Chain A
Amino acid sequence: MRKCVWLAISLFLISVALPASAKVSLDIYGQSYKKITIATPPFKGTDSASKLKTDMPDLLGKDLDMSGFFIVAPKTVMDRELTAEGVEKKDIRFENWRSLGIELICKAVAQVQNGGLTIESYLYDSSDGTLLFAKRYRTKTDEWRRVVHRLADDIIQAATGERGIMSSRVLFVARDKRGKDVYVSDLDGGALKKLTEHGGITVSPAMSPDGRYLAFTSYKEGKPNLYVFDLERNREVYANREDGTKIASTWLDKRTLVYTHTTGRNSTIFSENIETKEKKVILRQEGILASPNFSMDGKKMVFVSDMYGTPQIFIRDLSSGETKRLTYAGNYNTTPVLSPKGDLIAYGCKTEGALEICVMKSDGTEPRVLTDGGVNDSPQFSFCGRYILYSSDNGRKAAIYLMLHNGDNKRLLTFTQSEETQPKFMP
């Protein structure tokens, strides 16, 4: 549904973004990148738009700041002359912006017509006045936050060469008085929605790639059973009540769920088509198998096994069946996830007194600790691969954080007021 809305918006593009060279590049093992200074002066617009009582430039600035690629000019540095300027190139005195050290300027006009909101935006490079893009977005007035997130993502794309993630939604588990349940929310905490309502304990949510099926493990019947809920038809379509612990991990395609099942002496990683109930064993071992995660092409699987006594990370080539151990340092390495490009693996490792989020190359070399103490869990790459979402518990309350994949720019995300764990980006 949301995709349709965005498609509609794209149709109103008045001019395709000019090919802008990437202003920053992010290298996890290289030197720190330089942030770009950007200004988001007040939007021009009709009276009706100002009646919306929204602070769109402020939200845009927050988004750009959160992205980690920008230094956003505070409102106070822009004097009356600068804020009064028009949005067209001829109206702008770029030397004034340059003198403030501002590299990019995002000008916009917001208008409300027939209950719809239209935002026209222009991104300029202050060094030579180049128009980097001009776009028009149209949506319902109550969706203004989403349009601003989209504008932020477009600016991030123009400046860095890859789209931002400010329009993303996050799936996570939060605890309230009744227990732990699964929620979904916009990255900025807007449009929060509770997806399960079981009370008790619900853990390990996994959303199918089309956003239709939600798999999770719940104790609603007294033991950790695996369920799949059809969000379109609003009903449970699958339940696995076999003995033992069943944990949903991920989806191989729209209908094929991957989960682990620990019972008796063995652990098994299964893939199962939840409609036809066709079930395959991907891997079975004595002891513990946990957290399987797949490369984008589905050919490689990283997972955790305790076959050598402690939890360590392995990678398996699914066609040849060859398995290679990746972690040798420490006695606790878990929850591996492959980056979308397949070049990196983010994982959790136990160090002296803490459980940290780390990243290493997918051959196991160059491991690097990204977090700084506490119990950090459930790393997840964004679809662009530049960000890692994770949960962190410093001993008071577990919360969800976002950071760049080199560990920079750690940001607390706020959704509910309670303990939050197991975040995942929504497909």
Chain B
Amino acid sequence: MKLTTCVLLVLWLLLFGCSPKPVYVPVSERADQSTQTGQQDVKRPDTQVSGQKDRDRAAIEEETLQRDLERQRMLQEQMKKEAASLFKDILFEYDSYSVRSEYEGLIKEVATFMSRNQNAKVTVEGHCDERGTVEYNLALGQKRAEAVKSLLVKTGVKEERVKTVSYGKEMPVDPGHTESAWAKNRRAHFKME
């Protein structure tokens, strides 16, 4: 539901928002309209012919541009979808910020994905479970995010394409107070920009 609204909004923006003209008219109907409104025609009849051509060309370019944008958007969306399914959370031991060796494969997959999608940027979020102090957990979350980032950088991802942010214990994925909830909350989460 939300996604549909987003897509519609983006389409609407593409069609109307970025266009220098207030109304988009398909090329086939354009000639008619210009004679109908005809304001410029009356005021500057000598520029009518060349003006008409310019406008046609601009409209075509615009359409191509929009098609490109749309394609890019679709690609971006597809990439994010792929990333979301690919980028599982990295879980940590209590009070630890070393990435366990079992996540080597995941780090490599993320790095491969980043090299396939050269425009992609990722934010690594560091999170902690509730069994610690607010302040220490904020620092710990940062270290978890940094640990994952440094592994990505070692695997060949450019440093400037990876951001880090710590949420400490402020945003648990599972609000429970059990071992299994805590285990899920001690995580580094990948988020595509």
Contacts and interface: CB of A to CB of B under 8 A. Distances in A.
Given A180-B170, A203-B170, A311-B95, A334 B140 contact: no
A184 to B, nearest CB: 18
Interface in A195-239: 201, 203-204, 217, 219, 222-224
Contacts of B132: 332, 334, 350, 355
Interface in A391-416: 393, 395
A139 interface: no
Contacts of B165: 222-224
A50 interface: no
Given A265-B146, A332-B95, A288 B135 contact: no
B138 A203 contact: yes
A204 B170 CA distance: 12
A418 to B, nearest CB: 15
B185 interface: no
A377 interface: yes
Interface string B21-64: 00000000000000000000000000000000000000000000
Given A245-B166, A265-B146, A332-B95, A288 B133 contact: no
Contacts, number: 88
B139 A289 contact: yes
A325 B58 CA distance: 72
Interface residues of B, number: 24
Contacts of A180: 170
A154 to B, nearest CB: 36
Contacts of A375: 130-131
B139 A378 contact: no
Given A245-B141, A247-B139, A332-B95, A204 B166 contact: no
A339 interface: no
B139 A310 contact: no
Nearest to B141: A245
A90 B159 CA distance: 84
Interface in B69-123: 95
A222 B163 CA distance: 12
A331 interface: yes
Nearest to A377: B133
A224 B168 CA distance: 10
A263 B149 CA distance: 11
A395 B177 contact: yes
- Residue among A217, A260, A334, A378 facing the most chain B CB atoms (10 A cut-off): A334
B95 A204 contact: no
Nearest to A348: B133
Nearest to A310: B95
Contact of A350 (B131, B140, B163, B167): B131
Interface of B: 95, 130-136, 138-143, 146, 163-168, 170-171, 177
23 contacts: A180-B170, A201-B171, A203-B134, A222-B165, A245-B142, A247-B138, A260-B135, A262-B166, A263-B146, A263-B164, A264-B146, A288-B140, A290-B139, A291-B133, A291-B135, A331-B95, A334-B132, A334-B135, A355-B131, A355-B132, A377-B133, A378-B134, A393-B130
Given A201-B170, A378-B134, 7 more contacts: A204-B135, A224-B165, A247-B135, A264-B146, A348-B133, A377-B134, A421-B134
